[in-house]
């Protein structure tokens, strides 16, 4: 099982943001808790089950063992991770 964090490319409110995703929801929630992200920040909309993390927290996630994935270099892996996240967001078990 793995936790992934993509590139911090989304600009919002003057900060760059990334997405924290995982192979399982339990793993995702546990990792987010280790980062100090509150559970109410969890998003499971059409973009898939994830937490948004600012660029500085992305660096901490990497230090704690998250796997960096790039929407530019790792397109197939990112697509696979997002497919799992979307299935989790729909309540499916991929």
* Residuewise pLDDT in 10s, the chain (94 residues): 689 998 877 767 788 899 898 888 889 999 999 999 999 998 877 667 889 999 899 999 999 999 998 777 767 776 777 777 777 767 766 5
Distance CA(18)–CA(58), nearest Å, equals: 7
Q: Are 69 and 78 contacting, i.e. CB atoms less than 8 angstroms apart?
A: yes
Half-sphere exposure of 93 (CA within 13 A, CB side): 1
């Amino acid at each position: 099982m793995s936790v992934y964090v993509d590139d911090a490319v989304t600009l919002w409110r003057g900060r760059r943001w990334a997405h924290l995703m995982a192979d399982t929801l339990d793993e995702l929630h546990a990792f987010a808790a280790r980062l100090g992200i509150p559970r109410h920040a969890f998003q499971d909309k059409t973009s898939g089950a994830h937490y948004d993390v600012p660029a500085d927290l992305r660096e901490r996630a990497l230090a704690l063992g998250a796997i960096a994935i790039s929407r530019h270099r790792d397109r197939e892996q990112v697509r696979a991770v997002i497919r799992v996240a979307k299935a989790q967001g729909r309540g499916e078990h991929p």
